[in-house]
Structure 1
Amino acid sequence: MESSPSTRLRRYSTWLWALRVAVTVAAVAYLFQAVSAGQFLAGDYAFLRLHQLGTTTADLLMVLALVSAAGLKWIARGPRAPFLITLAAMLVSQAQAATGAGRILWLHVPLGVALIGLVWALAWGTWTSAAWREVPR
């Protein structure tokens, strides 16, 4: 049974908004990660715990973003790009967290910079990309 255009539009819009919110909040969380890391490296050791909690929070937000991107792709029949970019960001995030836990700072810091850029670009794309705003037929 084919759904009506208004149902498709509503479904697509719901998943797109869920993705927008999740990645935008995740982008802010990753920016906080840079701040907390800087404070820790400057000698305020209380920020290490905040940095660790920030990782968990950002990971949870990215799981929500991945679920939203999957819903946008497979339930609302939207574009594949948001899902693939979100999945890539999650993989970089896990590698970055692993290098941080292993105290491999020479790799942890550059991965963090790349991750922040990737998630901010993803957030920007969810709000501005005309291709992602088009409802599939």
Structure 2
Amino acid sequence: MRSDATHRTTPTGWTLRAVVSAHVVAIVGQPVFAGAYLTGDFDSLRWHAVGADVVTSIGYLQVIVAAVVWIRLRQVWPFPVTMAVVAAETAQYFAGLDGALWLHIPLGVMTVAALVVLFIAVWRRPLPRREARDA
């Protein structure tokens, strides 16, 4: 029988939670800056560009942390989900640079939604180390 301690989130799990939380905070600012730009505050476009760099950087950091979670905790699911979100963010980043708003805006909405779902998933239950037989 497992003890209560085996079900607690490990420091590695807390690190994933922290990075995903920072990622959500950063990405939620992006539509705000875009909306301010579209209402005529042209300085907001610069903030949107800076925000894109921040969001993308946190996303790449999240890939590393998700890989560590996979290796150390034997929790696979955060890695492919993170890779899908980061792939969408990267495509969105370049669509924005290219001015392809037909792709940039809907992909942005989907990316924010996917990241919020990931945020809920990592906070919903503990991220303990799985036993080798459970992996």
TM-score of the superposition, structure 1-length normalised? 0.85
User: Could you say what secondary structure the match of 2:10 adopts?
Assistant: helix
User: 1:77: Cα distance to partner?
Assistant: 3.5
1:135 paired to 2:119: no
User: 1:18: Cα distance to partner?
Assistant: 1.1
The residue that corresponds to 2:75 in the other structure is 79
Q: Tell me, in whole angstroms, the C-alpha distance in 1 between the residues paired with 2:73 and 2:24.
A: 25
- Give CA-to-partner distance per residue, 1:65-114, whole Å, 9 cap, x none: 1111100101x132211000001110000000111001011110000000
Contact 1:89–1:118 (CA under 8 A) maintained in structure 2? yes
The residue that corresponds to 1:105 in the other structure is 101
1:30 paired to 2:27: yes
Q: CA RMSD in A?
A: 1.4
Number of residue-to-residue matches in the alignment: 124
Question: What residue identity is the alignment partner of 1:96?
Answer: Q
User: Could you list the runs of 5+ residues in structure 1 that have no partner in the other structure?
Assistant: 1-8
TM-score of the superposition, structure 2-length normalised? 0.86
Q: Tell me, in whole angstroms, the C-alpha distance in 1 between the residues paired with 2:13 and 2:84.
A: 18
The residue that corresponds to 2:88 in the other structure is 92
Q: Could you list the structure 1 runs, at least 4 aligned residues long, displaced by more than 4 angstroms after superposition.
A: none
User: Could you say what secondary structure the match of 1:89 adopts?
Assistant: helix
User: 1:135: Cα distance to partner?
Assistant: 2.5
Percent identity (aligned): 30
Q: Tell me, in whole angstroms, the C-alpha distance in 1 between the residues paired with 2:88 and 2:26.
A: 15
Q: Tell me, in whole angstroms, the C-alpha distance in 1 between the residues paired with 2:19 and 2:11.
A: 12
The residue that corresponds to 1:5 in the other structure is none
Q: Tell me, in whole angstroms, the C-alpha distance in 2 between the residues paired with 1:87 and 1:100.
A: 20
User: Could you list the runs of 5+ residues in structure 2 that have no partner in the other structure?
Assistant: 1-5
Contact 1:59–1:93 (CA under 8 A) maintained in structure 2? yes
The residue that corresponds to 1:3 in the other structure is none
Contact 2:85–2:114 (CA under 8 A) maintained in structure 1? yes
Q: Tell me, in whole angstroms, the C-alpha distance in 1 between the residues paired with 2:73 and 2:14.
A: 15
Q: Tell me, in whole angstroms, the C-alpha distance in 2 between the residues paired with 1:87 and 1:52.
A: 22
